[in-house]
Amino acid sequence: MTFTYDYARPALTVDCVVFGLDDHDLKVLLIERKLKPFRGKWALPGGFVRVGESIDHAARRELKEETGLEKVFLEQLCTVGNPLRDPREHVVTVAYYALVRLSDHRVHAATDAAQALWFSLDDLPKLAFDHDDILNTAHQRLRSKLRYQPIGFELLPKKFTLRQLQALYEIVLNRELDKRNFRKKILKMGVLEETDEIESDVAHRAARLFRFDRQAYRRMTRRGFHFEI
């Protein structure tokens, strides 16, 4: 079956920059392409948008199909449509970025992906298409957005210690923060709820666990509160 239109149309795809955090590193999920063009090269997971599905849906679907990831925090990044970015024809792609904690997800390649692997951000292969550019844009966006939106909590367990939270900010922002100032600042905001639990299985004094209070955050946001680290 084929589809015929009165005017030529660019193809439309979605691509996902998935950031994953473990205890020390920020990584990004890439797939090895099974098909031409760029067969055997590493690329962002993604694929064609189907008629009748929203682009957000397409992004989630492709991410799940190719890497097995689902139910992740996913946000639109930008759309790139240089007509020469794909050697075959004019392909416009809507890029998304996602945040996950590595320990929560097992990835497994499927469909058009020969492999799906986490790469450290400072040890990346050359990517297919203009995916390097997209990845850089996503990394910058992650850094700047982390500072004024509480998206970092997507990268942590439900309950976490302040030390974990601080480490997250230090890894993504790539600079050290002062422990006391950090704690004062984040606690004063009132978006963290102290639980009565402490971490376990540590070989030293256990730290208190906190939880992000999304309700409080939303309430405060409506009243003009501005989150910022």
Partner DNA sequence: GATTCATAGTGTTGTTTTCACACTAAGTCG
Partner DNA sequence: CGACTTAGTGTGAAAACAACACTATGAATC
For DNA, the binding residues (CB under 7 A) are 161-163, 178-181, 183-185, 198, 202-208, 228
CB-based contact 161:199 (threshold 8 Å): yes
CA–CA separation, 193 and 16 (whole Å): 32
For the record, the structure tokens of 125 come out as 């292969």
Binding-site partner at residue 9 among a copy of itself, DNA, none, CB < 5 to 8 Å by type? a copy of itself
Q: Does 174 bind a copy of itself (CB under 8 A)?
A: no
**Binder of residue 185, out of a copy of itself, DNA, none (CB less than 5 to 8 A by kind):** DNA
Q: Which of 37, 39, 40, 48 binds a copy of itself (CB under 8 A)?
A: 48
Structure tokens at 37: 């063009």
Measured distance CA(28)–CA(120) in Å, rounded: 6
Q: Which residues contact 106 (CB under 8 A, 6 or more apart)?
A: 68
In three-state secondary structure terms, 185 is helix
**Stretch near a copy of itself under the rule CB under 8 A, chosen from 22-30, 44-52, 159-167, 185-193:** 44-52
Which of DNA, a copy of itself, none lies near 136, with the C-beta cut-off 5 to 8 A by kind?
none
If one asks whether residue 189 binds a copy of itself (CB under 8 A), the answer comes out as no
Site for a copy of itself in 92-111 (CB under 8 A): 92, 94
- 4 makes contact, choosing from DNA, a copy of itself, none, with CB < 5 to 8 Å by partner type, with a copy of itself
Give the nearest distance from C-beta 166 to a copy of itself in angstroms. 21
Whether the Cβ atoms of residue 151 and residue 145 lie closer than 8 Å to each other: yes
- In this structure, the chain runs to a length of 229
Burial class (CB in 10 A: 0-12, 13-18, 19+), 123: exposed
What residues make contact with a copy of itself under the rule CB under 8 A?
Answer: 2-12, 48-56, 58, 76, 78-83, 89-90, 92, 94
